[in-house]
Amino acid sequence: MKGRGEPKARNWQEHNEYLVKRGEMYLTFRFLDSWEKDLEELNRGKLGRMFAYTWAFIELMMLIHAIFHLPYRRLEGFLR
């Protein structure tokens, strides 16, 4: 087919590495460094049961849920 936009790969090792890197994901766990401080800030002045998880952790779990299409119970198992 003409006009596909991608030239034919000639260096297969380089092309393979390009395809592998295209599927990479970068997940950072820097939020763990400030976990205690963030929880303390969330729970300051709160009445009732205290929060156990930070917003950054919940957002990470939402991202994992969306990317891997995990049902919530399987996501819970993933966390354990």
Is residue 3 scored above 60 in pLDDT? no
Vertex 31: Cα angle to 67 and 26 (nearest 5)? 40
User: Residue 15 contacts by C-beta under 8 Å, 6 or more apart in sequence?
Assistant: 9
In this prediction the pTM is 0.63
Rounded to an integer, the average pLDDT of 10-21 is: 85
Distance CA 72, CA 76 (A): 6
Tokens matching residue 15: 């092309």
Residues 6+ apart with CB under 8 A from 34: 54
What pLDDT sits at residue 40? Answer: 96
pLDDT in tens, 18-55: 888 887 777 778 888 999 999 999 999 999 999 999 99
Q: Which of 1-10, 39-48, 58-67 is least confident?
A: 1-10
